[in-house]
Chains A and B, each alone.
Chain A
Amino acid sequence: AQKVTQAQTEISVVEKEDVTLDCVYETRDTTYYLFWYKQPPSGELVFLIRRNSFDEQNEISGRYSWNFQKSTSSFNFTITASQVVDSAVYFCALTTGTASKLTFGTGTRLQVTL
C-alpha cells in the first residue's frame, strides 16, 4: 500500500519569508514517482515537479526548490522569499507506475500575507 503524509495542515507566513512544506511517503516499490501540485483558490491543479526514485538530485526552479531524501522517504518543497501569489493548497503525490493512479497527501494550505 502507498501513503503520502503532509503533516502540516495550514501554514501562515508573511511575505518574503521562506517556507518549507513537508512530504513523507511510503511505498514498497523501488520504482516510483513523486509529484508536487499547486491548487490556487481557482481550483485548478498546477503541476510543479516530478521526480523519479532513481534521481535524488535536488532541484531548484526560481524561488522553488525540492529536497528528495530516500533515506527519510521525504520530498520537501521550499519556497524562498514567499509572495502573496504563492497562497494556495499544495499537494504532494506518489505513483508507482507511469500511467497508474496517484496517491495524494491531504494537502498543505499556505497563506502568505503582506
Chain B
Amino acid sequence: GAVVSQHPSRVICKSGTSVKIECRSLDFQATTMFWYRQFPKQSLMLMATSNEGSKATYEQGVEKDKFLINHASLTLSTLTVTSAHPEDSSFYICSGTGSGDVRGTQYFGPGTRLLVL
C-alpha cells in the first residue's frame, strides 16, 4: 500500500508557542490531503481537506487562523498549530489520496502526539 510519514511523532511545547507538523506521501502523489484530530478512545475528527496548490477547506468549528494548513506540493502538507494552548493537546493524523492505484483510498500517517504544557 501507499506510505505516508509524519514528523515529528511526538512534540511537547509550552503554551503560546507554534508547532509545525509535516505530512509526506513517500511513494505516491497526494493530490488531496486530510488532517484529523483524535481524542483518547474516540473516533477521528476531520479538521480540514487540502488540495495541492489550493487553500484548505476547514470543517465547521475548526479555526483556520489557529490551524494553518499548507499543501505546497504533491508530496507534502503541513499543519501549524499557532499559539498552542493545553486544549490543543491531541493526536493529529494526516492522510493522503491521489490518482491511479491510490485513487479514492485515504492512506494515513502514523500520527503526531502533541502535548501543550
User: Which residue of A42, A43, A47, A107 contacts B43 across the interface (Cβ within 8 Å)?
Assistant: A107
User: Which residue of A44, A102, A105, A106 contacts B110 across the interface (Cβ within 8 Å)?
Assistant: A44
In the complex, chain B residues whose CB is within 8 Å of the CB of A64: none
- How far, in angstroms, from A43 to B92 measured CA to CA in the complex? 10
In the complex, chain B residues whose CB is within 8 Å of the CB of A107: 43
In the complex, chain A residues whose CB is within 8 Å of the CB of B42: 106
In the complex, chain B residues whose CB is within 8 Å of the CB of A35: 105-106
In the complex, chain B residues whose CB is within 8 Å of the CB of A45: 44, 93, 95, 108
Chain A: interface residue total (CB-CB under 8 A) = 21
Q: Once the chains bind, are B108 and A44 in contact (CB under 8 Å)?
A: yes
B-contacting residues, A40-61, CB 8 Å: 42-47, 50
Nearest chain B residue, comparing its CB with the CB of A107: B43
Q: Taking the complex as formed, is B25 at the interface, i.e. its CB lies under 8 A from any CB of chain A?
A: no
Q: Count the A-B residue pairs with Cβ separation under 8 angstroms: how many? A: 49
In the complex, chain A residues whose CB is within 8 Å of the CB of B67: none
Q: Once the chains bind, are A99 and B43 in contact (CB under 8 Å)?
A: no
Nearest chain A residue, comparing its CB with the CB of B1: A47
A-contacting residues, B71-97, CB 8 Å: 91, 93, 95, 97
Nearest chain B residue, comparing its CB with the CB of A9: B41
